[in-house]
Amino acid sequence: MAQQERERQTDRSLTMSRAIVEAIAHEMREDDDVFYMGEDVADYGGIFDSTAGLLEEFGHDRIMDVPISETAYIGAAVGAAQAGMRPIAELMFVDFFGVGMDQIYNQMAKNTYMSGGNVSVPMVLTAAVGGTYNDAAQHSQTLYGTFAHLPGMKVVVPSTAYDAKGLMHSAIRDDDPVVYLFHKRLMGIGWLPAPDGPKTGVPEEPYTIPFGEADVKREGADATVVTLGLHVHRALEAAESLADDGIDAEVIDLRTLVPLDIDTVRESVAKTGRLVVVDEDYRSYGVTGEIIARVAEDGLADLEAVERVAVPDVPIPYARAMETEVIPDAADIAAAVRNVRSNE
């Protein structure tokens, strides 16, 4: 059954955070080796509701609040994973990655390779990403590119509740380290209102979404918009406004950056000839450049026009006027689509 069909046939719709928690709870019931560690994840339930309600069912032994010490507890998750458990470690804000990054990229991501495949690290590292609520440069970054650039980590970025649940089931069952980046603006938190899009139908039974399968969230013939996370919804909004002007944009949600489903993107570009890549991460050396390069490598002849929409290479500013300026919105995306069509 097609995914959208399943979303529609489901009576209940969930916020993204509830969908994530449902997947984690299911996996924890099935497998005693799954546990969750992080700052304020137990009694608080996760600052972004990523673990809301889990403490009541599983207790402090399996939903573990830890001291503020990312090096220690992320590294401990690596060790526990190597010992055969399936830990989920939460980095509260992705911006804090620097504190424990050595454990992330020199251990979690490399130990399988350095051991010649003799060691596996079946853990999930979750982190909140994204701005759009004026929290300034140390709490608003998206950093998709950083994790995807360094080899050895699978990188997952859900944009809807349906995807978030299926991808979390897959992440916990995966035998490799998975970095699962959820956007704060999509979680459905009371104090941080989400747009309408991420709350979708979510089946009660468990299901997996395989990594490396992008999802065409809107079909279109005139231009291909490739994006992920919050910007899937902004791209869909842009597509609606473009449709009013007779421009039919296709919107592709990458869903996972590692592995990357470039085939879906190439097929779309072969159809539309025009590519716009949208990212809430910094422009240089990131997702936008990577997607365009990969399409060009095998499909240069299909490319009539290309544009990228991303955060210009500046840290995220605090004041609203400046933050709005640097984080791409639907109008920026629509303008880029119009630009790539202007050579007709």
Partner 1 sequence: MYENMVTARHYEERLQEEYLEGKQPAFDISAGPIPGELHLAAGHEASGAGVCQHLRDDDTVTAPHRPHHIAIAKGVDLERMTAEIFGRETGLSGGKGGHMHLFDPDVNFACSGIIAEGCPPAVGAGLAAKKRHSDAVAVAFLGEGAIDQGAFLESLNLASVQNLPVVFVIEDNDWAISMPKERVTDVENGAQRADGFDLPGARVDADDAIAIYDAAGEAVRRARDGNGPTLLEVQVHRRMGHFMGDAEGYRPDADKNAAAKRDSIERLAADLRAHDVDDETIEELRSRAHERVEAAIEWAKEQPEPDPADAYEDVFSDPPSGATEGDRSVAETGGDD
Q: What are the residues facing 99 on neighbouring strands? A: none
Residue among 122 and 131 whose Cβ is closer to partner 1: 131
- 65 within 8 A of 42, measured Cβ to Cβ: yes
- Considering the complex, what minimum distance in angstroms separates the CB of residue 239 from partner 1? 24
| Residue 164 beta carbon to partner 1: minimum distance, rounded to whole angstroms | 21
Beta carbon of residue 64, minimum distance to partner 1 (angstroms, whole number): 10
Q: Which residues of 46-70 are buried (b: 16+ CB within 10 A; e: fewer)?
A: bbbbbbbbbbeebeeebbbbbeeeb
Q: Where are the alpha helices (H) located in 115-228, listed in sequence order? A: 144-149, 161-173
Q: Residue 139 or 233: which CB sits closer to partner 1?
A: 139
Please provide residue 267's backbone torsions phi and psi, each rounded to the nearest 5 degrees.
-60, -40
Question: What are the residues binding partner 1 (CB under 8 A)?
Answer: 39-40, 42-44, 47, 65-69, 71-72, 95-96, 98-99, 132-139, 190-193, 312-315, 317-326
Q: How near is the Cβ of 344 to partner 1 at its closest, in Å?
A: 31
Q: What is the largest CA-CA distance in the chain?
A: 62
Query: Given the complex with partner 1, which of 273 and 317 has the nearer CB atom?
Result: 317
* Neighbour-count burial of 9, counting CB atoms closer than 10 A to its CB (0-12 exposed, 13-18 middle, 19+ buried): exposed
Amino acid at 254: L
Looking at beta carbons only, is 135 or 304 nearer to partner 1?
Answer: 135
Cα(209)–Cα(48) distance, integer angstroms: 23
Closest by Cα among 274, 272, 297 to 343: 274
Check 139, 169, 183, 233 and give the catalytic one.
Answer: 139
Q: How many other β-carbons are positioned within 10 Å of the β-carbon of residue 246?
A: 7
**Gap between the Cα atoms of 17 and 188, Å rounded:** 7
Q: Considering the complex, state which of residue 293 and residue 314 has its C-beta at the smaller distance from partner 1.
A: 314
Q: How far is the CB of 323 from partner 1 (least distance, A)?
A: 8
Measure the CA–CA gap between 323 and 142, rounded to whole angstroms. Answer: 13
Q: How far is the CB of 234 from partner 1 (least distance, A)?
A: 15
H-helix or E-strand containing 321? helix 320-326
Nearer to partner 1, 69 or 115 (CB): 69
Cα–Cα separations (whole angstroms), residue 169 to 73, 180, 211: 22, 11, 11
Query: Nearer Cβ to partner 1, position 154 or 184?
Result: 184
Q: Is 139 a catalytic residue?
A: yes
Per DSSP, the three-state class of 277 is strand
Shortest Cβ 68–partner 1 spacing (Å):
5
C-alpha closest to that of 49 among 91, 20, 86, 88? 20
- Residues 187, 48: contact at Cβ < 8 Å? yes
DSSP annotation of 316: P
Q: Mind telling me the catalytic residues?
A: 139
